[in-house]
Amino acid sequence: MRQWSGVIIVVAVLLGMAVSPVVAQAPGPSAPPAPASGSTIRIAYIDVQRVLARSSAGVAAREQLEREKAVMQREMDAKRQELEKLRDELEKKGPLMTADVRRERQEQFERKRRDAARQMDDFQKELEKKEQTLLQRVLQDLTGVIERVGKERGYYMVVEKRGASVLYASPDADLTDEIIRAYDQQAPKKTP
């Protein structure tokens, strides 16, 4: 009973239920302070993925990544065309080449193919790193906005919808659109 009493207090407080004095005296290190009589605990949630998809900073970060991806894609397309040209040359002119020339061209083709595959992996890792950096910057700015809006609106807690495993939430508790508006108002002077 002792280990469950802290959990019971937290659940009861979050649900706005009265807690009996016997249970309330049990130690619960993570139990939040009980609300004043008659007050309610307000909890809200946001969908961070929706904020990233719809906020101006999130859209700008995604557009920047898409531009960089397009540059990398053009470079990879050029390498692919070069490889296709070498392969076609080997297929069409290979039988007419001497064994040494054919082997040299085959080795050249394989070397360029490996280099292209390595470069593709490097591009992929670079894009992932840039995405993490840009999103981390947006999320860092977003944390301050969430805290400010949560305090202004008097919320006891604001959770992330997916990370908190919210099984049910009323649409009235969704602060996502308000966070997007507040973030966009704050963010025009900042670019990711």
- The full DSSP string for 147-163 is HHHHHHHT-SEEEETTT
Pair 50, 160: CB distance under 8 Å? no
User: How confident is the model at residue 70, as a pLDDT?
Assistant: 93
Buried b / exposed e along 169-178 (16+ C-beta atoms within 10 A): eeeebbbbeb
Residues (pLDDT < 50) of the chain are: 1-34, 190-192
User: How confident is the model at residue 118, as a pLDDT?
Assistant: 94
Secondary structure (3-state) at 29: coil
Q: Minimal CA–CA distance to 50: which of 137, 162, 156?
A: 162
Pair 12, 19: CB distance under 8 Å? yes
Specify burial of residue 192 (Cβ count, 10 A radius: 0-12, 13-18, 19+).
Answer: buried
User: How confident is the model at residue 144, as a pLDDT?
Assistant: 86
User: How confident is the model at residue 29, as a pLDDT?
Assistant: 39
Compute CA distances 13 → 3, 110, 120, 164, whole Å: 17, 67, 53, 18
User: How confident is the model at residue 26, as a pLDDT?
Assistant: 34
User: How confident is the model at residue 74, as a pLDDT?
Assistant: 93
User: How confident is the model at residue 86, as a pLDDT?
Assistant: 87
Neighbours of 119 (CB within 10 A): 14
Q: What is the pLDDT of residues 23-58, one digit of tens each?
A: 333 333 344 444 555 568 788 888 888 888 898 888
User: How confident is the model at residue 174, as a pLDDT?
Assistant: 85
Collect all residues with Cβ–Cβ distance below 8 Å to 51 and sequence separation of at least 6.
Answer: 58, 142, 176, 179, 180, 183
- Partnered with residue 46 across adjacent β-strands are 160
**Residue 46 belongs to what H/E stretch?**
strand 43-46
Q: How far apart are CA 136 and CA 130, in angstroms?
A: 10
